[in-house]
Amino acid sequence: MDRRTFVVGVSTGVTTGLAGCAGEDLDLSPDTGADSDDDAESDRRSEAAAEAATEDFLQALADGDAERQGELVHDDATGFSTSTDEYSLTINEVASHTIAEIAEQHDESISESEIEDANQRLQDRTNEIGADDSAQVYFDIDVEDDSEEGYLFLVEDDGEWLIYDDGIGVELEADDTEPEDSPETTPEAATEDFLQALADGDAERQEELLHQEATGFSTSTEEITLTIHEVASHTIAEIAEQHGESISESEIEDAKDSVGERITEIGATDYAHVYYEFETEQFGTEEGYLFVVQDGGEWLIYDDGIGVELEDDEETQQEVSNRLQIQSAVGNVTEDETVDEVRLTVAKAPGSDAIDLEAVSYQFDTNDSSVLSADQISVIVAETDDTEITDRADRYQLSFTAPTHFDSELDSGDRLTIDLTTASGASTVKELRVPDSLVDRDAVVL
């Protein structure tokens, strides 16, 4: 099917949004509208609701559910028309982005004052509409045999999030200065950079070098003395030969095909299996592999290991694939300016089978491991009305309170690590960080 057949068949306006905000020709001429980054950051619950409305709208388009499409579009929205045509749809990603994040992701040279001006104009537009809040929601979908991505501008009206416009709701005014060409990166250079960031305790750089869908990694600010002896990309055949694996040519080809399918699911354009060997004073010599992918021209760490199993070990494959992804973490702020509840939005990782959340165990720092109970699990958007994640588009919220699930309420600046382990044994670790200030906050992103 054509690049934008799915979107064109539903809305001329949505097509404009895809070309203007997700492609290479971002329109930077001035317009009216604005939003508040602080509001968007301070209430992840609103972001989750806007994302859920977007996913609901996209699914209604795929199902040809014209009635539901109409319910999810604002009365004053223009350029949208309902459709009863049905399509095969896979939702890869739906996420709320701030103006600053959008400018950064599209490599636009936007100054802080220009971002603040865009936020103010977006707030003005939200007020003119008569809405309570607004959000710019990015989507990445596979429709039939093609892929599409873009933004939708949503507004909150009387507590309900509705589609109002295609695009981000405001046009950015950029600096006319030509950006310098970024140096060409390689998977080996990205791996060395990541290892050095670990040695330096540079958590910010570690985060930059991790793919947004990478699981099982946690950043660290602890400095270590590290000497890198070797970093090199290896093929599947080289890895099998070096480790003495008795792998036939057909099995190597099957492994390559499996990696290719995984790359397609991730949405990356290339991959590499990077071998490393380094030595530290604390732990001696270590070696292993990192699975590195190229996304948007940038090489990023996606997984530990080589990204595929060389032997047909069904149990091991299931353990590797059946992972949870933590999409967001929000803390509830009390009147005493402490965080007494942590709410995680979770989905299943690409390639995972169905995951029963009531069989998932969790562990906070040094606390004992426990299994999630039904009252800790709630549906944000899902194919089924139960506690089993069956679809990549499913989103569930997991709730944890102090002192029931973790020791005590968190103060500003505190850190807390959670480990979620599925029934197959796949672990997802995330470090939660409380902002330095909780003044006048009802909720904060952790």
pTM for the model? 0.36
Q: From first to last of its 446 residues, what are the pLDDT tens digits of the chain? A: 332 334 433 333 333 232 333 333 333 333 434 344 444 455 678 888 899 999 999 999 888 898 998 899 998 887 677 788 888 888 888 888 888 888 776 655 667 777 888 888 888 888 888 898 899 998 888 887 778 888 888 999 888 999 988 877 666 654 444 444 444 578 999 999 999 998 898 989 999 999 988 866 777 788 888 888 888 888 887 877 765 555 677 777 888 888 888 888 888 888 898 988 887 765 556 777 888 999 888 999 998 777 766 554 444 444 445 788 887 888 999 999 999 999 998 888 766 788 999 999 999 986 788 999 999 999 988 878 899 998 877 889 999 999 999 989 999 999 999 999 999 888 888 888 898 889 988 988 88
Structure tokens at 316: 């091991």
Residue 171 resides in a domain: no
- 127 is in which domain, residue-wise? 5-166
Residues 65, 22 within the same domain: yes
From the number of C-beta atoms within 10 Å of its C-beta (0-12, 13-18, 19+), residue 304 rates as middle
272 half-sphere exposure, CB direction, 13 A CA radius:
21
**Helix H or strand E encompassing 401:** strand 395-401
Residue 177 resides in a domain: no
Residues 195, 233 within the same domain: yes
Residues 199, 154 within the same domain: no
Helices (H) and strands (E) in the chain, counts: 12, 19
Triad 278, 283, 286: Cα angle to 5°: 35
Last residue of a domain, one of 312, 329, 349: 312
Residues 150, 56 within the same domain: yes
Question: What is the number of structural domains in the chain?
Answer: 3
